Structure 1
Amino acid sequence: MKREIAKYVSECDVCQRIKADHLKTTGILQPLAVPAWKWEDIHMDFIVGFPRTQKGYNSIWVVIDRFTKSAHFIPVKTTYRAKQYAELYISRIVSLQGVPQTITSDRGSLFVSRFWEQLQTALGTNLIRSSTYHPQTSGQVERVNQILEDMLRARGLTYSTKWDECLPLAEFAYNNSTREFAYNNSYQKSLEMAPFEALYGRRCRTLLNWSKPGERVTFGPDLVTQAEEQVKFIHSNLKRAQSRQKSYSDKRRRPLVFEKGDHVYLQVSPMKGVHRFGVKGKLAPRDHRKMWASSRLELPPHLAAVHDVFHVSQLKKCLRVPKEVVDTSQIQIEPDLTYQERPIKNP
């Protein structure tokens, strides 16, 4: 009987939805494949909420190469339409770096718009979007966003309404930081060089002399050979860095596998905006409600506007079949802790 009682308690619907989970985070790290060449696979994201500049800009479009870590920072306005972003994309990215094979982004309004999808289909670019409310998919661009914000914050007192004029120098500082002169650690340890050097095969010429005594300048066929060797070196370093990061991350995680047709709880948190699901307040349930699990979630009608793909860390396996669970919210308890049972209507 003790075992049956423990099983019954563990399958309590209210307990599964309300009680905190003290186990390791579910879902082991699944890093993206290392790109084969420069600017073939890129990240995109927006940083919003900046003071409006004299030219009307209030956001920054951040575009990063996943291979060399080099980035472009483009001032934009939140009122821009998809067509205006497409023109910027062609003039600021494609004209300089060519057409990428893949673009990894979140599910912002621009990246899910029909115009943007049709443009990338015409260019032959595959769109990879993060799962719902899981920005870790684009963790690299989130880190660069933090670096850029710190750069602009340091100059905010002087250039609060002219921060867009600082973006070219901020981009230069980020792409050319080295071990000897690193602005906010933007030297890429995984590359063992600055993004500019990884992209162009040489250090950038600046006011400071980066060349070392006796350093040889390469020309002709040797330059091509050196560039090929550098790409192999970067590729090897990135794979080694990914392996190391996965090893560290998986120590704090546990695998969780679902079968098609399983019932799951969708975990939500006040810190992540529970109000989006129609639930507000600190005492709101940690897990919204049971749903069918397959390659996607079968969401209830009132969540039709939410994308149905979620990371496994936001899901929890339901231990009891929903039809066997009594919905306690429908039971009206009297002040004397009794309730009136309504008769079942005959069909």
Structure 2
Amino acid sequence: MLDAADENEKPFFQKLYDDAVQRETEAEAAARATSIADQVALLAVPESNDDQFREKIVAVVAALVPLRTLEDLESRVTALEQRNQELQAEIVSLKQSQLSAPHPPNPRPAAVPVSQPNTVLMTRASGTVTSAGTGASSSSGSADSSAMVIVPNAGTSAQNATVLTGIQYSGPVVDKRAATLPSKYDGKGDITSWISSMRSYFEVLRTPQEDRSMIMGTNTEPVVRSFIELQAVTAAYERIDLTEWLKITPVRTLEDLLITRYQDKHAALKARLKLEAFKGQTWRTSMQALEQHLTGLFTTPNLGMTDVSCMNVVMGVAPKEYLSLLRLKDHTTWRELMTDPVHLEAKDLARRTKAPAAGQKSQRKRYGSSNQLALHEHREAEDQSYADDLSLDDDLEPDSDMGCSTSAIEKLKEDLVQHTAKDPDLSPILEQLKADPNSQPDFHECEGLVFRRYGKFDRLCVPNHAPLRTHFLDLAHGRNGHFGFEKTYGSLLQQFDWSGMKGSAQKFIVECQVCQRTKVHWHKPYGLLKPLPIPDGPGESVSIDFTDMGKVSEGGHSQVMVIVDRFSKFLNLIPLPPHAPTELVTGEFHQQYILQYGPPKTLASDRDTRFISADWKDFTSQIYHIKLNKTSGRHPEANGLAEEINQTVIQLLRDLIVPDHNTWDKELYKVKGLYNNSIHSATVVTPNQLHYGWQLRNPLSYLFPERSPGLTPDMPGYNAKYARLLKAAIAAMNKRQHAMIKHANKSRKEPNFKVGDYVWVKMSEFSDEEGV
């Protein structure tokens, strides 16, 4: 009997049968145990007085009552088994009748078949089976955990079925074990498709509304999870309390947040690029696949293409054998044009299928990875996802026969006539020419169009309608070799005329995606020099970097951590071993800098793995509240002060270390002292004087006994003198910074794009390890 049922129905019937057998076994065992206990109780009654005898009699009667109840239960179990056998027999008969009955085109799977009205079997949330009807219930567990559905009589609508627990059941019984959770969203795929998959998953499992947000929010990759955590932080929740925020957030609100963040903002641009790739190609697979592919592209929001341009694309990629037939019919929209190749292909395949050549088998046209016939009568049975998986390289072949169809040309002419009559500049000229052809000596009219005389050439006056002018610009540039401005504008001057045509051509060429992607640009690099702001005083901001010395010293060091104050230029050098971990870098920075000079307010560094690690961020931000400023990738010049110090340190070490270069780490103190006691070109004072506030003595100070000793912090007038020193240093750094900006910006240009714009990036900006 189970073999005759569908695969989806077998688990329910098997579960029903197993439950009945288990209950029968348990009832028999309980009956035997009770009977034995009762017999033992009867045999154990001793001789006693009347009171004790009455007590024993009461106990015996109390034991006999459950025994009688068990006997009733056994009879009910027997009745249920018989009822189960009858139901199974009726299921087999119903299955046979369903197999023999005609099926609709798209049959909807029904619930568990029933034999009597008001009886149905359905799956509860716990996975057990509940039977409802006129007989006794065979469900186990408490009554409030089961749902009993009343199925209406034949002829009534299934929508009138009610659930006794108040839960409306509006779909077929589904095997929940077959439902799988969609893959985690990584922020790169289509967010709407992923949300649709999650909704389907929730509907199959009937997930409660209060749990859907938590499941959707946690079924994401770390990148998306971080975005959701930021939304929770914005709502005054901690990151670790993300689940609490998800529990109170409606699923629709979460979906809107994800769509707003991860919806593709450049879908129209990508669609235009794909359509650009169609030019000069011919589609080699089924026309139905072409229809699906182009429909997805043409219906992209904000695509900005007219019906004429879309029909040109269709005519350009259609097979050559269909072009002559397509030109016989006038089409007004690309949808009308696209249905004709599908019908022609279906008729062709139907004719070849019904009437094969003598001695040959019926031919089937193969389309890429699909072997289905593209017959019009069976279009709904085609694979709907086929067009999305097609490769343009496999489905397209070069074709030089490009051009507008006859219907497209007529449609273009109609648009020109229509918009010329509406144009505020051309319509008065057109009316005057129709009234008197000689009223405008520089113009003449032909079939509702206005032409301007320029020597031997007559130029068509294009009305002020953006799609028309864009179409002619594309003909002169995009379909004419993608030449530069001179040739494009020269081609336009021979045929067309409108106000501002030169500027329109320049703008069209600058925005041409193909030219931007393939041509070499000789302009200056984008981005003007914008140095970091000058700090207010010493100890406010520090630059930090690592420099590799290229050789391991006797002390086991191979690199130096360079720390320089961005205001006073005070230098500090810390040697480190090869591959120094973050813990060691943090400890050395804490002991040899922070404990001696205090924590800075800001810290400028590159994106070394140790500077972007969680331990470094916790140490600087959480403990000392230091603001981290990191440079952009592959642009070390943003931290130019530290990079310049690296070169200076290496140059000084070359003059100090011995030829074997094994003791360079012992000379770092000399390098530090020489640099900090020399005048810096940016501040015009030594780093030591600007950092400590007074001029340190040097070996030649004894030669100048007439000089008075410098002011120290404990002397009167020190604060005023130190304030004047800081102002002089700031003025000197501003002067030096302006000169540097002026010199650097001579070879650079101001960018014409802003944050959020879609730009082309040179391949040189990507490193090899990224696989680009």
Does the TM-score normalized on the shorter chain lie above 0.5?
Answer: yes
Equivalent residue number for residue 282 of structure 1: none
User: What are the within-5 Å matches in structure 2 for residues 268-347 of structure 1?
Assistant: 268-269=763-764, 274-279=767-772
Q: 2:637 aligns with which of 114, 136, 148?
A: 136
CA contact 1:203–1:210 (8 Å) conserved in 2: no
Please state if 1:196 is matched with 2:691.
Answer: no
Alpha-carbon offset, residue 48 of structure 1: 1.3
CA distance in 1, matches of 2:771, 2:655: 39
- In structure 1, the partner of 2:707 is 215
- In the alignment, is residue 243 of structure 1 matched against residue 744 of structure 2? no
The match for 1:229 is 724
2:406 is aligned to none
Q: Deviations over 1:243-280 (max 9, x none)?
A: 222122222221114245532122243xx77423425x
Q: Which residue identity is paired with 2:602? A: T
Contact 1:48 1:59 in 2 (8 A): yes
Q: Within 5 A, what are the aligned runs for 1:13-24?
A: 16-17=516-517, 19-24=519-524
Corresponding residue of 1:148: 649
C-alpha separation in 2, matches of 1:210 and 1:263: 66
Corresponding residue for residue 757 of structure 2: 262
Instruction: Give 1:205's aligned residue.
Output: 697
Code of the residue aligned with 1:223 in structure 2: it is Y
Match status 1:252 vs 2:747: yes
Deviation larger for 118-127 or 208-217: 208-217
Could you tell me how far 1:15 is from its partner in structure 2?
Answer: 5.0
User: Is the contact made by 1:62 and 1:141 (CA closer than 8 Å) also made in structure 2?
Assistant: yes
Match of 1:35 in 2: 535
Q: Distance in 1 between matches of 2:674 and 2:538?
A: 20
Q: What is the identity percentage for the equivalent residue pairs of Structure 1 and Structure 2? A: 26
Q: Distance in 2 between matches of 1:26 and 1:149?
A: 32
Amino acid at match of 2:634: Y
Compared with structure 1, are the counterparts of its residues 59 and 210 closer, same or farther at alpha carbon in structure 2 (3 Å cutoff)? farther
Kept after mapping to 1: 8 A contact 2:549/2:560: no
More deviation, 153-162/90-99: 153-162
What is residue 290 of structure 1 aligned with on the other side? none
In structure 2, distance between residues paired with 1:57 and 1:147: 19
Shift of 1:49: 4.3
Higher relative contact order (CA 8 A, sep 6+): 1
1:79 equivalent in structure 2:
579
Which segments of 5 or more consecutive residues in structure 1 lack a partner in the other structure? 178-186, 280-347
The structure with the larger Rg is 2
SS of residue in 2 equivalent to 1:221: coil
* Aligned-partner residue type, residue 230 of structure 1: L
Q: Structure 1 or 2: larger helix share? A: 2
CA shift digits 1:85-119 (9 cap, x unpaired) = 11111111112211100000000011100011011
Q: What is the CA–CA distance in structure 2 between the aligned matches of 1:250 and 1:119, rounded to whole Å?
A: 38
Specify the SS of the correspondent of 1:56.
coil
How far has the Cα of 1:129 moved from its partner? Answer: 0.1
The one-letter amino acid of 1:267's match is K
**In 2, distance between residues paired with 1:64 and 1:261?**
34
- Quickly say closer, same or farther: Cα 1:19–1:162, change in 2 above 3 A: farther
Instruction: Note the aligned Cα RMSD (angstroms).
Output: 2.4
Task: Give the Cα–Cα distance (whole angstroms) in 2 for the partners of residues 211 and 90 of structure 1.
Answer: 40
Q: Which amino acid aligns with 1:231?
A: L
Task: Give distance in 2, aligned partners of 1:58 and 1:254.
Answer: 40
Matches within 5 A, 1:93-172: 93-121=593-621, 122-158=623-659, 160-172=661-673
Range 207-216 or range 3-12, more displaced: 3-12
* Distance change (3 Å), C-alpha of 1:208 and 1:50: farther
Paired amino acid for 2:682? S
Q: Deviations over 1:8-61 (max 9, x none)?
A: 776665653454432122111111111011021000000014211112100000
Deviation at 1:201, TM superposition (A): 2.4
5+ long unaligned stretches in structure 2: 1-475, 477-487, 493-504
- What is the rounded CA distance, in whole Å, between the counterparts of 2:598 and 2:535 in structure 1? 15
- Alpha carbons 1:28, 1:253 under 8 Å: kept: yes
Match of 1:23, SS state, is coil
Q: Residue 552 of structure 2 aligns to a residue in which SS? A: coil
Residue by residue over 1:266-296, the C-alpha shift from the partner in whole angstroms, topping out at 9 and shown as x without a partner, is: 2243xx77423425xxxxxxxxxxxxxxxxx
- Equivalence for 1:175: 676
Residue type of the partner of 2:771? Answer: G
Contact 1:54 1:161 in 2 (8 A): yes
Paired letter, 2:589: Y
Normalization by structure 2: what TM-score?
0.33
TM-superposition CA deviations, 1:179-236 (whole Å, max 9, x none)? xxxxxxxx31111111112112233323333875633224411222211211121122
The answer for the alignment partner of 2:260 in structure 1 is none
Q: Cα gap change, 1:9/1:56 in structure 2, threshold over 3 Å: closer, same or farther?
A: same
Normalized against structure 1, the TM-score is what? Answer: 0.71
Deviates further, 13-22 or 47-56: 13-22
Retained in 2: the 8 A contact 1:39–1:100?
Answer: yes
The amino acid that maps onto 2:596 is: L
